[in-house]
Structure 1
Amino acid sequence: MIGLIKAEYRKIFTTSLWWALLIPVVVLGFAAGWLGTAFGGIIDMVEEFSASLPLGLLSVALSTNFGTIFALLFGAMAFASEFRAKTITTTYLTANPRSSVLWAKLIACTGIGVLYGIANVLFASLGALLGAGHDMSNFGGFSSWLSVGGAGVLSMLLWTLLGVGFGALIANAVLVVILPLVYKFVVEFILSFSLLDTPVSGIEPYLPGSAGNGIVSNLAVPLFVSAVAGPNEPNTPRTAFELLHLFFGGSYGHPWWASLLTFLGYTAVFVAGGWFVGARRDVA
Protein backbone atom coordinates (compact mmCIF):
# COMPACT_ATOMS: atom_id res chain seq x y z
CA MET A 1 0.00 0.00 0.00
CA ILE A 2 2.86 2.39 0.80
CA GLY A 3 4.27 1.75 -2.67
CA LEU A 4 0.93 2.62 -4.25
CA ILE A 5 0.71 5.86 -2.28
CA LYS A 6 4.24 6.82 -3.34
CA ALA A 7 3.31 6.06 -6.93
CA GLU A 8 0.27 8.29 -6.67
CA TYR A 9 2.37 11.17 -5.36
CA ARG A 10 4.80 10.68 -8.25
CA LYS A 11 1.90 10.83 -10.69
CA ILE A 12 0.64 14.02 -9.08
CA PHE A 13 3.93 15.90 -8.93
CA THR A 14 5.21 14.86 -12.35
CA THR A 15 2.21 16.44 -14.06
CA SER A 16 1.06 20.07 -14.12
CA LEU A 17 -2.54 19.45 -13.01
CA TRP A 18 -1.97 20.08 -9.31
CA TRP A 19 -0.29 23.47 -9.68
CA ALA A 20 -2.42 24.52 -12.66
CA LEU A 21 -5.54 24.21 -10.51
CA LEU A 22 -3.81 25.68 -7.47
CA ILE A 23 -3.23 28.97 -9.33
CA PRO A 24 -6.93 29.94 -9.60
CA VAL A 25 -7.43 28.94 -5.95
CA VAL A 26 -4.70 31.39 -4.92
CA VAL A 27 -5.85 34.16 -7.27
CA LEU A 28 -9.52 33.85 -6.29
CA GLY A 29 -8.59 33.70 -2.61
CA PHE A 30 -6.59 36.91 -2.78
CA ALA A 31 -9.25 38.66 -4.91
CA ALA A 32 -12.05 37.63 -2.52
CA GLY A 33 -10.09 39.01 0.43
CA TRP A 34 -9.47 42.30 -1.34
CA LEU A 35 -13.05 42.68 -2.57
CA GLY A 36 -14.32 41.94 0.93
CA THR A 37 -12.75 45.15 2.15
CA ALA A 38 -14.42 47.06 -0.68
CA PHE A 39 -17.71 45.62 0.53
CA GLY A 40 -16.82 46.90 3.98
CA GLY A 41 -16.23 50.38 2.60
CA ILE A 42 -19.75 50.43 1.23
CA ILE A 43 -21.14 49.42 4.63
CA ASP A 44 -19.08 52.08 6.39
CA MET A 45 -20.71 54.71 4.23
CA VAL A 46 -24.00 53.92 5.94
CA GLU A 47 -22.33 54.76 9.27
CA GLU A 48 -24.54 52.46 11.27
CA PHE A 49 -21.83 50.32 12.86
CA SER A 50 -19.50 51.51 15.55
CA ALA A 51 -17.83 48.09 15.87
CA SER A 52 -15.07 46.89 13.59
CA LEU A 53 -16.31 44.77 10.70
CA PRO A 54 -14.54 41.36 10.57
CA LEU A 55 -14.96 41.08 6.82
CA GLY A 56 -11.91 38.84 6.61
CA LEU A 57 -14.07 35.99 7.91
CA LEU A 58 -16.57 36.46 5.10
CA SER A 59 -13.76 36.76 2.58
CA VAL A 60 -12.39 33.37 3.59
CA ALA A 61 -15.87 31.86 3.26
CA LEU A 62 -16.38 33.42 -0.18
CA SER A 63 -13.00 32.33 -1.52
CA THR A 64 -13.47 28.81 -0.16
CA ASN A 65 -16.86 28.38 -1.78
CA PHE A 66 -15.47 29.37 -5.16
CA GLY A 67 -12.15 27.58 -4.77
CA THR A 68 -13.58 24.18 -3.84
CA ILE A 69 -14.63 23.55 -7.44
CA PHE A 70 -10.94 23.39 -8.38
CA ALA A 71 -10.26 20.93 -5.57
CA LEU A 72 -13.11 18.77 -6.86
CA LEU A 73 -11.78 18.94 -10.42
CA PHE A 74 -8.31 17.95 -9.25
CA GLY A 75 -9.64 14.92 -7.37
CA ALA A 76 -11.82 13.85 -10.28
CA MET A 77 -9.06 14.28 -12.86
CA ALA A 78 -6.59 12.39 -10.66
CA PHE A 79 -8.65 9.29 -11.45
CA ALA A 80 -10.32 10.04 -14.78
CA SER A 81 -7.09 11.20 -16.44
CA GLU A 82 -5.69 7.69 -16.06
CA PHE A 83 -8.49 6.37 -18.25
CA ARG A 84 -7.78 9.06 -20.82
CA ALA A 85 -4.03 8.36 -20.81
CA LYS A 86 -4.62 4.57 -20.82
CA THR A 87 -2.41 4.11 -17.74
CA ILE A 88 -5.21 2.70 -15.60
CA THR A 89 -4.52 -0.86 -16.81
CA THR A 90 -0.95 -0.78 -15.48
CA THR A 91 -2.15 0.82 -12.28
CA TYR A 92 -4.71 -1.91 -11.68
CA LEU A 93 -2.27 -4.70 -12.61
CA THR A 94 0.23 -3.49 -10.01
CA ALA A 95 -2.41 -3.27 -7.27
CA ASN A 96 -3.99 -6.13 -5.41
CA PRO A 97 -6.84 -5.85 -4.67
CA ARG A 98 -8.04 -3.31 -7.23
CA SER A 99 -9.83 -1.28 -4.53
CA SER A 100 -6.42 -0.38 -3.07
CA VAL A 101 -5.94 1.99 -6.03
CA LEU A 102 -8.87 4.07 -4.85
CA TRP A 103 -7.60 4.17 -1.27
CA ALA A 104 -4.12 5.15 -2.41
CA LYS A 105 -5.54 7.99 -4.49
CA LEU A 106 -7.71 9.15 -1.60
CA ILE A 107 -4.71 9.25 0.74
CA ALA A 108 -2.48 11.04 -1.78
CA CYS A 109 -5.19 13.54 -2.73
CA THR A 110 -5.83 14.26 0.94
CA GLY A 111 -2.46 16.00 1.08
CA ILE A 112 -3.25 18.06 -2.01
CA GLY A 113 -6.69 18.98 -0.66
CA VAL A 114 -5.10 20.24 2.56
CA LEU A 115 -2.53 22.18 0.52
CA TYR A 116 -5.31 23.83 -1.50
CA GLY A 117 -7.20 24.65 1.68
CA ILE A 118 -4.23 26.23 3.43
CA ALA A 119 -3.26 28.22 0.32
CA ASN A 120 -6.83 29.48 -0.03
CA VAL A 121 -7.10 30.60 3.60
CA LEU A 122 -3.70 32.28 3.64
CA PHE A 123 -4.14 34.20 0.39
CA ALA A 124 -7.72 35.21 1.21
CA SER A 125 -6.48 36.45 4.57
CA LEU A 126 -3.56 38.26 2.95
CA GLY A 127 -5.88 39.97 0.48
CA ALA A 128 -8.22 41.02 3.27
CA LEU A 129 -5.33 42.25 5.40
CA LEU A 130 -3.78 44.35 2.64
CA GLY A 131 -7.13 45.71 1.53
CA ALA A 132 -7.98 46.73 5.09
CA GLY A 133 -4.71 48.59 5.60
CA HIS A 134 -3.14 45.90 7.80
CA ASP A 135 -6.04 46.07 10.27
CA MET A 136 -5.97 42.76 12.20
CA SER A 137 -9.45 43.43 13.61
CA ASN A 138 -10.65 42.58 10.11
CA PHE A 139 -10.64 38.94 11.26
CA GLY A 140 -12.58 39.37 14.49
CA GLY A 141 -9.92 37.77 16.68
CA PHE A 142 -7.45 34.92 16.19
CA SER A 143 -9.84 32.22 17.42
CA SER A 144 -12.53 33.27 14.94
CA TRP A 145 -10.04 33.35 12.07
CA LEU A 146 -8.63 29.96 13.08
CA SER A 147 -12.07 28.33 13.29
CA VAL A 148 -13.23 29.70 9.92
CA GLY A 149 -9.87 28.92 8.34
CA GLY A 150 -9.95 25.38 9.72
CA ALA A 151 -13.45 24.90 8.33
CA GLY A 152 -12.17 26.20 4.98
CA VAL A 153 -9.35 23.64 4.90
CA LEU A 154 -11.78 20.86 5.89
CA SER A 155 -14.21 21.92 3.16
CA MET A 156 -11.47 21.93 0.52
CA LEU A 157 -10.34 18.48 1.65
CA LEU A 158 -13.83 16.98 1.44
CA TRP A 159 -14.45 18.45 -2.01
CA THR A 160 -11.17 16.88 -3.16
CA LEU A 161 -12.15 13.45 -1.82
CA LEU A 162 -15.61 13.73 -3.35
CA GLY A 163 -13.88 14.50 -6.64
CA VAL A 164 -11.79 11.32 -6.38
CA GLY A 165 -14.93 9.25 -5.84
CA PHE A 166 -16.68 11.06 -8.69
CA GLY A 167 -13.73 10.46 -11.03
CA ALA A 168 -13.67 6.77 -10.14
CA LEU A 169 -17.41 6.55 -10.75
CA ILE A 170 -17.56 8.39 -14.11
CA ALA A 171 -14.05 7.64 -15.46
CA ASN A 172 -14.44 10.14 -18.30
CA ALA A 173 -12.04 13.09 -18.30
CA VAL A 174 -14.45 15.36 -20.15
CA LEU A 175 -17.57 14.59 -18.14
CA VAL A 176 -15.85 14.93 -14.75
CA VAL A 177 -15.07 18.55 -15.69
CA ILE A 178 -18.34 19.52 -17.35
CA LEU A 179 -20.84 17.89 -14.99
CA PRO A 180 -19.63 19.49 -11.72
CA LEU A 181 -19.42 22.95 -13.30
CA VAL A 182 -22.90 22.70 -14.79
CA TYR A 183 -24.40 21.33 -11.59
CA LYS A 184 -22.81 23.72 -9.10
CA PHE A 185 -23.19 26.95 -11.05
CA VAL A 186 -26.33 26.27 -13.10
CA VAL A 187 -28.48 23.37 -11.92
CA GLU A 188 -28.28 23.91 -8.17
CA PHE A 189 -28.47 27.69 -8.58
CA ILE A 190 -31.77 27.35 -10.46
CA LEU A 191 -33.01 24.66 -8.10
CA SER A 192 -32.26 26.75 -5.01
CA PHE A 193 -34.22 29.71 -6.30
CA SER A 194 -37.06 27.43 -7.41
CA LEU A 195 -37.39 26.13 -3.85
CA LEU A 196 -37.77 29.58 -2.30
CA ASP A 197 -41.11 30.12 -0.54
CA THR A 198 -42.26 26.57 -1.32
CA PRO A 199 -43.35 23.86 1.16
CA VAL A 200 -40.10 21.97 0.47
CA SER A 201 -37.75 24.94 0.81
CA GLY A 202 -36.24 23.27 3.89
CA ILE A 203 -34.33 20.78 1.73
CA GLU A 204 -32.17 23.52 0.16
CA PRO A 205 -29.42 23.38 2.86
CA TYR A 206 -29.09 19.65 2.14
CA LEU A 207 -28.30 20.00 -1.55
CA PRO A 208 -24.66 19.09 -2.29
CA GLY A 209 -23.44 22.57 -3.23
CA SER A 210 -25.32 24.31 -0.45
CA ALA A 211 -24.11 21.81 2.14
CA GLY A 212 -20.53 22.23 0.94
CA ASN A 213 -20.78 26.02 1.10
CA GLY A 214 -22.38 25.88 4.52
CA ILE A 215 -19.36 24.20 6.12
CA VAL A 216 -17.63 27.58 6.16
CA SER A 217 -20.38 30.15 5.57
CA ASN A 218 -22.72 28.86 8.28
CA LEU A 219 -19.85 29.44 10.69
CA ALA A 220 -18.45 32.70 9.27
CA VAL A 221 -21.75 34.59 8.95
CA PRO A 222 -22.90 34.10 12.60
CA LEU A 223 -19.40 34.99 13.82
CA PHE A 224 -19.49 38.13 11.70
CA VAL A 225 -22.92 39.17 12.99
CA SER A 226 -21.92 38.41 16.58
CA ALA A 227 -18.81 40.58 16.28
CA VAL A 228 -20.75 43.49 14.77
CA ALA A 229 -23.97 43.33 16.77
CA GLY A 230 -22.42 42.37 20.12
CA PRO A 231 -25.02 42.10 22.90
CA ASN A 232 -27.73 43.03 20.38
CA GLU A 233 -27.12 39.91 18.28
CA PRO A 234 -30.44 38.23 19.28
CA ASN A 235 -32.25 41.30 17.95
CA THR A 236 -30.49 41.22 14.59
CA PRO A 237 -33.18 40.91 11.90
CA ARG A 238 -33.33 37.72 9.90
CA THR A 239 -33.02 39.70 6.67
CA ALA A 240 -29.49 40.73 7.68
CA PHE A 241 -28.45 37.09 7.97
CA GLU A 242 -30.21 36.14 4.73
CA LEU A 243 -28.54 38.97 2.83
CA LEU A 244 -25.11 37.86 4.04
CA HIS A 245 -25.85 34.24 3.19
CA LEU A 246 -27.00 35.30 -0.28
CA PHE A 247 -23.59 36.83 -0.99
CA PHE A 248 -21.34 34.50 0.99
CA GLY A 249 -23.14 31.16 0.87
CA GLY A 250 -24.79 28.98 3.46
CA SER A 251 -28.32 29.00 4.87
CA TYR A 252 -29.94 31.00 7.65
CA GLY A 253 -30.26 29.12 10.94
CA HIS A 254 -28.50 25.99 9.64
CA PRO A 255 -25.51 25.00 11.82
CA TRP A 256 -22.16 24.54 10.11
CA TRP A 257 -21.69 21.08 11.60
CA ALA A 258 -24.97 19.92 10.02
CA SER A 259 -23.64 21.07 6.65
CA LEU A 260 -20.41 19.22 7.39
CA LEU A 261 -22.22 15.97 8.20
CA THR A 262 -24.43 16.31 5.13
CA PHE A 263 -21.51 16.88 2.79
CA LEU A 264 -19.54 14.11 4.47
CA GLY A 265 -22.46 11.85 3.56
CA TYR A 266 -22.29 12.93 -0.10
CA THR A 267 -18.54 12.31 -0.09
CA ALA A 268 -19.03 8.82 1.33
CA VAL A 269 -21.69 8.03 -1.28
CA PHE A 270 -19.48 9.05 -4.20
CA VAL A 271 -16.44 7.23 -2.81
CA ALA A 272 -18.52 4.09 -2.24
CA GLY A 273 -19.98 4.40 -5.74
CA GLY A 274 -16.51 4.81 -7.23
CA TRP A 275 -15.29 1.76 -5.31
CA PHE A 276 -18.26 -0.39 -6.38
CA VAL A 277 -18.13 0.54 -10.07
CA GLY A 278 -14.33 0.65 -10.29
CA ALA A 279 -13.98 -2.86 -8.90
CA ARG A 280 -16.20 -4.21 -11.71
CA ARG A 281 -15.24 -1.98 -14.64
CA ASP A 282 -13.46 -3.57 -17.60
CA VAL A 283 -10.24 -1.81 -18.58
CA ALA A 284 -8.12 -2.24 -21.68
Structure 2
Amino acid sequence: MPALIRAEFRKIFTTNLWWAMLIPVVVLAFCAGWLGTAFVGLIDMIEQFQATLPLGLLSVSLSTNIGTIFALLFGAMSFAGEYRNNTITATYLTANPRGAVLAAKLTACGVVGLTYGLANVLFASLGALLGAGPGLANFGRIGDWLSVGGAGVLSMLLWALLGVGFGALVTNAVLVVIAPLVYKFVIEFTVSISVMETTLSGIGPYLPAAAGNGIVSNLAVPLFVSAVAGPDEPNTPRGAFELLHLFFGGTYDHPWWLSLLTFACYAAAFVAGAWFVGRRRDIA
Protein backbone atom coordinates (compact mmCIF):
# COMPACT_ATOMS: atom_id res chain seq x y z
CA MET A 1 0.00 0.00 0.00
CA PRO A 2 2.73 2.57 0.78
CA ALA A 3 4.25 1.87 -2.64
CA LEU A 4 0.89 2.57 -4.31
CA ILE A 5 0.54 5.84 -2.43
CA ARG A 6 4.05 6.89 -3.45
CA ALA A 7 3.19 6.02 -7.04
CA GLU A 8 0.08 8.19 -6.89
CA PHE A 9 2.05 11.15 -5.53
CA ARG A 10 4.56 10.61 -8.32
CA LYS A 11 1.76 10.73 -10.90
CA ILE A 12 0.37 13.91 -9.36
CA PHE A 13 3.61 15.85 -9.10
CA THR A 14 4.95 14.88 -12.53
CA THR A 15 1.94 16.44 -14.25
CA ASN A 16 0.65 20.01 -14.40
CA LEU A 17 -2.88 19.35 -13.16
CA TRP A 18 -2.27 19.88 -9.43
CA TRP A 19 -0.72 23.35 -9.74
CA ALA A 20 -3.00 24.35 -12.64
CA MET A 21 -5.95 23.87 -10.27
CA LEU A 22 -4.11 25.46 -7.35
CA ILE A 23 -3.55 28.76 -9.20
CA PRO A 24 -7.27 29.72 -9.48
CA VAL A 25 -7.82 28.63 -5.87
CA VAL A 26 -5.10 31.04 -4.70
CA VAL A 27 -6.12 33.91 -7.00
CA LEU A 28 -9.83 33.66 -6.21
CA ALA A 29 -9.10 33.35 -2.48
CA PHE A 30 -7.03 36.51 -2.50
CA CYS A 31 -9.66 38.39 -4.53
CA ALA A 32 -12.44 37.23 -2.19
CA GLY A 33 -10.44 38.54 0.75
CA TRP A 34 -9.81 41.83 -1.02
CA LEU A 35 -13.57 42.34 -1.46
CA GLY A 36 -13.59 43.27 2.21
CA THR A 37 -12.45 46.73 1.08
CA ALA A 38 -15.79 47.38 -0.60
CA PHE A 39 -17.76 46.32 2.46
CA VAL A 40 -15.62 48.40 4.80
CA GLY A 41 -15.99 51.43 2.54
CA LEU A 42 -19.77 51.09 2.51
CA ILE A 43 -19.98 50.63 6.27
CA ASP A 44 -17.68 53.56 6.96
CA MET A 45 -19.76 55.72 4.63
CA ILE A 46 -23.00 55.09 6.48
CA GLU A 47 -21.19 55.18 9.88
CA GLN A 48 -23.36 52.45 11.32
CA PHE A 49 -20.73 50.52 13.27
CA GLN A 50 -18.03 51.73 15.64
CA ALA A 51 -15.79 48.63 15.60
CA THR A 52 -13.83 46.90 12.88
CA LEU A 53 -15.93 44.09 11.44
CA PRO A 54 -14.58 40.50 11.23
CA LEU A 55 -14.98 40.44 7.45
CA GLY A 56 -12.15 37.94 7.19
CA LEU A 57 -14.57 35.24 8.36
CA LEU A 58 -16.90 35.94 5.45
CA SER A 59 -13.97 36.20 3.03
CA VAL A 60 -12.84 32.69 3.92
CA SER A 61 -16.39 31.44 3.47
CA LEU A 62 -16.74 33.06 0.05
CA SER A 63 -13.35 31.91 -1.22
CA THR A 64 -13.91 28.34 -0.01
CA ASN A 65 -17.27 28.00 -1.70
CA ILE A 66 -15.76 29.21 -4.97
CA GLY A 67 -12.51 27.28 -4.74
CA THR A 68 -13.93 23.87 -3.84
CA ILE A 69 -14.99 23.28 -7.44
CA PHE A 70 -11.30 23.15 -8.40
CA ALA A 71 -10.60 20.57 -5.69
CA LEU A 72 -13.43 18.47 -7.11
CA LEU A 73 -12.14 18.83 -10.67
CA PHE A 74 -8.63 17.87 -9.57
CA GLY A 75 -9.88 14.74 -7.83
CA ALA A 76 -12.08 13.76 -10.77
CA MET A 77 -9.37 14.36 -13.38
CA SER A 78 -6.80 12.40 -11.36
CA PHE A 79 -8.82 9.26 -12.05
CA ALA A 80 -10.49 10.07 -15.37
CA GLY A 81 -7.14 11.23 -16.75
CA GLU A 82 -5.80 7.71 -16.38
CA TYR A 83 -8.52 6.45 -18.72
CA ARG A 84 -7.85 9.28 -21.17
CA ASN A 85 -4.12 8.57 -21.25
CA ASN A 86 -4.59 4.78 -21.18
CA THR A 87 -2.43 4.40 -18.08
CA ILE A 88 -5.22 2.79 -16.06
CA THR A 89 -4.46 -0.62 -17.60
CA ALA A 90 -0.90 -0.67 -16.27
CA THR A 91 -2.12 0.68 -12.94
CA TYR A 92 -4.66 -2.09 -12.46
CA LEU A 93 -2.41 -4.85 -13.77
CA THR A 94 0.41 -3.96 -11.37
CA ALA A 95 -1.80 -3.30 -8.35
CA ASN A 96 -4.11 -5.81 -6.75
CA PRO A 97 -6.83 -5.51 -5.60
CA ARG A 98 -8.33 -2.57 -7.45
CA GLY A 99 -9.71 -1.21 -4.22
CA ALA A 100 -6.13 -0.54 -3.15
CA VAL A 101 -5.70 1.74 -6.18
CA LEU A 102 -8.80 3.69 -5.16
CA ALA A 103 -7.57 3.96 -1.57
CA ALA A 104 -4.15 5.20 -2.73
CA LYS A 105 -5.74 7.82 -4.97
CA LEU A 106 -8.03 8.95 -2.15
CA THR A 107 -5.01 9.32 0.13
CA ALA A 108 -2.88 11.25 -2.35
CA CYS A 109 -5.71 13.47 -3.59
CA GLY A 110 -6.81 14.04 0.00
CA VAL A 111 -3.38 15.45 0.83
CA VAL A 112 -3.58 17.74 -2.21
CA GLY A 113 -7.10 18.75 -1.14
CA LEU A 114 -5.76 19.68 2.29
CA THR A 115 -3.03 21.73 0.59
CA TYR A 116 -5.66 23.56 -1.48
CA GLY A 117 -7.64 24.22 1.70
CA LEU A 118 -4.67 25.66 3.57
CA ALA A 119 -3.69 27.83 0.58
CA ASN A 120 -7.27 29.06 0.29
CA VAL A 121 -7.48 30.09 3.95
CA LEU A 122 -4.08 31.75 3.97
CA PHE A 123 -4.58 33.78 0.78
CA ALA A 124 -8.16 34.75 1.65
CA SER A 125 -6.88 35.98 5.00
CA LEU A 126 -4.02 37.85 3.32
CA GLY A 127 -6.44 39.48 0.91
CA ALA A 128 -8.70 40.51 3.78
CA LEU A 129 -5.78 42.01 5.69
CA LEU A 130 -4.56 44.04 2.72
CA GLY A 131 -8.02 45.04 1.54
CA ALA A 132 -9.77 45.86 4.80
CA GLY A 133 -6.75 47.06 6.75
CA PRO A 134 -4.44 45.37 9.25
CA GLY A 135 -5.50 44.13 12.64
CA LEU A 136 -6.70 40.86 14.12
CA ALA A 137 -10.13 42.43 14.65
CA ASN A 138 -10.80 41.77 10.96
CA PHE A 139 -10.97 38.07 11.80
CA GLY A 140 -12.80 38.29 15.12
CA ARG A 141 -11.58 36.11 17.95
CA ILE A 142 -8.69 33.81 17.11
CA GLY A 143 -10.92 30.85 17.91
CA ASP A 144 -13.49 32.02 15.37
CA TRP A 145 -10.88 32.36 12.62
CA LEU A 146 -9.40 28.95 13.41
CA SER A 147 -12.87 27.38 13.39
CA VAL A 148 -13.85 28.88 10.04
CA GLY A 149 -10.42 28.17 8.56
CA GLY A 150 -10.53 24.58 9.77
CA ALA A 151 -14.00 24.13 8.28
CA GLY A 152 -12.67 25.55 4.99
CA VAL A 153 -9.79 23.05 4.91
CA LEU A 154 -12.14 20.18 5.73
CA SER A 155 -14.57 21.28 3.03
CA MET A 156 -11.81 21.36 0.40
CA LEU A 157 -10.70 17.87 1.45
CA LEU A 158 -14.22 16.42 1.13
CA TRP A 159 -14.73 17.99 -2.30
CA ALA A 160 -11.46 16.46 -3.51
CA LEU A 161 -12.48 13.02 -2.22
CA LEU A 162 -15.91 13.32 -3.84
CA GLY A 163 -14.12 14.24 -7.07
CA VAL A 164 -12.05 11.06 -6.95
CA GLY A 165 -15.19 8.98 -6.55
CA PHE A 166 -16.95 10.85 -9.32
CA GLY A 167 -13.99 10.51 -11.69
CA ALA A 168 -13.73 6.79 -11.01
CA LEU A 169 -17.44 6.35 -11.77
CA VAL A 170 -17.63 8.45 -14.94
CA THR A 171 -14.05 7.99 -16.32
CA ASN A 172 -14.72 10.36 -19.26
CA ALA A 173 -12.23 13.24 -18.92
CA VAL A 174 -14.51 15.75 -20.66
CA LEU A 175 -17.66 14.79 -18.81
CA VAL A 176 -16.05 14.94 -15.35
CA VAL A 177 -15.25 18.62 -16.01
CA ILE A 178 -18.50 19.69 -17.65
CA ALA A 179 -20.99 17.77 -15.48
CA PRO A 180 -19.99 19.28 -12.07
CA LEU A 181 -20.02 22.82 -13.47
CA VAL A 182 -23.42 22.36 -15.10
CA TYR A 183 -24.85 20.73 -12.01
CA LYS A 184 -23.55 23.23 -9.45
CA PHE A 185 -24.21 26.44 -11.36
CA VAL A 186 -27.25 25.49 -13.46
CA ILE A 187 -29.15 22.40 -12.31
CA GLU A 188 -28.96 22.81 -8.53
CA PHE A 189 -29.43 26.57 -8.79
CA THR A 190 -32.57 26.01 -10.86
CA VAL A 191 -33.89 23.37 -8.47
CA SER A 192 -33.23 25.59 -5.45
CA ILE A 193 -35.11 28.48 -7.01
CA SER A 194 -37.97 26.22 -8.10
CA VAL A 195 -38.65 24.77 -4.64
CA MET A 196 -38.51 28.10 -2.81
CA GLU A 197 -41.79 28.99 -1.10
CA THR A 198 -43.08 25.46 -1.70
CA THR A 199 -43.54 22.43 0.52
CA LEU A 200 -40.24 21.11 -0.86
CA SER A 201 -38.21 24.12 0.25
CA GLY A 202 -36.74 22.09 3.12
CA ILE A 203 -34.67 19.97 0.74
CA GLY A 204 -32.55 22.95 -0.34
CA PRO A 205 -29.84 22.67 2.37
CA TYR A 206 -29.48 18.95 1.68
CA LEU A 207 -28.64 19.28 -2.00
CA PRO A 208 -24.95 18.46 -2.68
CA ALA A 209 -23.62 21.93 -3.53
CA ALA A 210 -25.71 23.63 -0.84
CA ALA A 211 -24.49 21.16 1.77
CA GLY A 212 -20.89 21.65 0.64
CA ASN A 213 -21.22 25.43 0.84
CA GLY A 214 -22.90 25.22 4.24
CA ILE A 215 -19.89 23.57 5.88
CA VAL A 216 -18.18 26.95 6.11
CA SER A 217 -20.97 29.48 5.52
CA ASN A 218 -23.31 28.11 8.18
CA LEU A 219 -20.47 28.60 10.65
CA ALA A 220 -19.00 31.89 9.40
CA VAL A 221 -22.25 33.86 9.07
CA PRO A 222 -23.53 33.24 12.65
CA LEU A 223 -20.05 33.99 14.04
CA PHE A 224 -19.96 37.23 12.06
CA VAL A 225 -23.41 38.29 13.25
CA SER A 226 -22.51 37.38 16.83
CA ALA A 227 -19.36 39.51 16.65
CA VAL A 228 -21.26 42.48 15.22
CA ALA A 229 -24.49 42.30 17.23
CA GLY A 230 -22.96 41.16 20.51
CA PRO A 231 -25.57 40.64 23.24
CA ASP A 232 -28.30 41.74 20.80
CA GLU A 233 -27.70 38.78 18.45
CA PRO A 234 -31.01 37.02 19.37
CA ASN A 235 -32.83 40.17 18.22
CA THR A 236 -31.03 40.32 14.86
CA PRO A 237 -33.65 40.18 12.08
CA ARG A 238 -33.77 37.01 10.03
CA GLY A 239 -33.39 39.14 6.92
CA ALA A 240 -29.86 40.12 7.98
CA PHE A 241 -28.83 36.47 8.12
CA GLU A 242 -30.52 35.66 4.82
CA LEU A 243 -28.83 38.57 3.07
CA LEU A 244 -25.42 37.38 4.23
CA HIS A 245 -26.22 33.80 3.23
CA LEU A 246 -27.29 35.03 -0.20
CA PHE A 247 -23.81 36.42 -0.85
CA PHE A 248 -21.67 34.01 1.12
CA GLY A 249 -23.60 30.73 0.83
CA GLY A 250 -25.33 28.54 3.34
CA THR A 251 -28.85 28.52 4.74
CA TYR A 252 -30.45 30.41 7.61
CA ASP A 253 -30.74 28.47 10.87
CA HIS A 254 -29.11 25.33 9.41
CA PRO A 255 -26.19 24.05 11.54
CA TRP A 256 -22.82 23.72 9.86
CA TRP A 257 -22.22 20.26 11.30
CA LEU A 258 -25.39 18.98 9.61
CA SER A 259 -24.11 20.35 6.29
CA LEU A 260 -20.80 18.60 6.98
CA LEU A 261 -22.52 15.30 7.73
CA THR A 262 -24.74 15.59 4.64
CA PHE A 263 -21.87 16.33 2.29
CA ALA A 264 -19.70 13.62 3.84
CA CYS A 265 -22.48 11.16 3.03
CA TYR A 266 -22.46 12.30 -0.61
CA ALA A 267 -18.69 11.88 -0.77
CA ALA A 268 -18.91 8.43 0.83
CA ALA A 269 -21.65 7.40 -1.61
CA PHE A 270 -19.53 8.37 -4.64
CA VAL A 271 -16.48 6.58 -3.25
CA ALA A 272 -18.51 3.46 -2.48
CA GLY A 273 -19.98 3.55 -5.98
CA ALA A 274 -16.51 3.93 -7.46
CA TRP A 275 -15.28 0.90 -5.53
CA PHE A 276 -18.26 -1.24 -6.54
CA VAL A 277 -18.14 -0.30 -10.24
CA GLY A 278 -14.36 -0.14 -10.55
CA ARG A 279 -13.72 -3.70 -9.40
CA ARG A 280 -16.02 -5.02 -12.15
CA ARG A 281 -15.14 -2.70 -15.02
CA ASP A 282 -13.27 -4.07 -18.03
CA ILE A 283 -10.02 -2.37 -19.04
CA ALA A 284 -8.49 -2.26 -22.51
Name the TM tier (shorter chain): over 0.9
- Alignment partners' CA distance in 2, 1:40 and 1:195: 34
C-alpha deviation, 1:133, in angstroms: 1.9
- Alignment partners' CA distance in 2, 1:43 and 1:189: 30
- Tell me the C-alpha RMSD between the 2 structures: 0.8
Paired residues for 1:52-67 under 5 Å: 52-67=52-67
Q: Deviations over 1:120-153 (max 9, x none)?
A: 0000000000112212211002111100000000
Q: Aligned to 1:145, what secondary structure does the other structure show? A: helix
Q: Aligned to 1:108, what secondary structure does the other structure show? A: helix
- Alignment partners' CA distance in 2, 1:140 and 1:40: 15
Bigger shift: residues 223-232 or 194-203: 194-203
- Alignment partners' CA distance in 2, 1:238 and 1:133: 29
Provide the residue aligned with 1:268 in structure 2. 268
Equivalent pairs: percent with the same residue?
76
Bigger shift: residues 45-54 or 138-147: 45-54
Contact 1:51 1:227 in 2 (8 A): no
Provide the residue aligned with 2:244 in structure 1. 244
Bigger shift: residues 102-111 or 40-49: 40-49
- Alignment partners' CA distance in 1, 2:192 and 2:242: 14
- Alignment partners' CA distance in 2, 1:194 and 1:121: 33
- Alignment partners' CA distance in 2, 1:261 and 1:77: 25
Q: Does 1:179 align with 2:214?
A: no
Provide the residue aligned with 1:160 in structure 2. 160
Where does the alignment leave 5 or more consecutive residues of structure 1 unmatched? none
Contact 1:37 1:55 in 2 (8 A): no
Q: Does 1:102 align with 2:102?
A: yes
C-alpha deviation, 1:188, in angstroms: 1.0
Contact 1:166 1:270 in 2 (8 A): yes
Provide the residue aligned with 1:212 in structure 2. 212
Contact 1:56 1:139 in 2 (8 A): yes
Provide the residue aligned with 2:224 in structure 1. 224
Q: Does 1:82 align with 2:82?
A: yes
Provide the residue aligned with 1:35 in structure 2. 35
Where does the alignment leave 5 or more consecutive residues of structure 2 unmatched? none
C-alpha deviation, 1:46, in angstroms: 2.3
Provide the residue aligned with 1:132 in structure 2. 132
Q: Deviations over 1:11-36 (max 9, x none)?
A: 00000000000000000000000012
Whichever residue aligns with residue 11 of structure 1, its letter is K
Paired residues for 1:273-284 under 5 Å: 273-284=273-284
C-alpha deviation, 1:190, in angstroms: 1.3
- Alignment partners' CA distance in 2, 1:39 and 1:282: 55
Q: Aligned to 2:35, what secondary structure does the other structure show? A: helix
Count of aligned residue pairs for this structure pair: 284
- Alignment partners' CA distance in 2, 1:125 and 1:256: 21
- Alignment partners' CA distance in 2, 1:66 and 1:257: 20
